[in-house]
Amino acid sequence: MAYMRYKKELTTLNPVAIKTGQTEIHAPEHKTWGILNCDDCDDKFCVGPNRIYGSRQSEEQCVEMLQDKLTQDHKIRRSHQNSYEFPE
């Protein structure tokens, strides 16, 4: 089995969203609550907390914050990042 090599490993205690299909960044210390599709461009993001420490924020709160960030990206015509972090 071949393993994908990423350029950067995201290590944080905060929940994150990682864009699917990209090979720049990954967050192996995080589990996935679910996948969110951007309403405007259909980019997909895995959203989840740190596997060990969890999160004080709910899945719904993180999804709402991600939707706001994605909407803002489109509003100012900026490409989506490969990852977003949700500070606690």
Q: Which is higher by pLDDT, 2 or 14?
A: 14
Instruction: Please report which confidence band the pLDDT of residue 33 belongs to, taking 50, 70 and 90 as the band edges.
Output: very high
pLDDT digits (tens, 9 = 90+) for 36-63: 999 999 999 999 999 999 999 999 999 9
Each domain of the chain, given as residue ranges in start order, spans 8-85
- The amino acid present at 74, given as its one-letter code, is H
Q: How is residue 76 written in tokens?
A: 């100012």
Instruction: Please report which confidence band the pLDDT of residue 3 belongs to, taking 50, 70 and 90 as the band edges.
Output: low
Give yes or no for residue 83 having a pLDDT over 90: yes
Give yes or no for residue 2 having a pLDDT over 60: no
Q: Torsions phi, psi of 45, nearest 5?
A: -135, 130
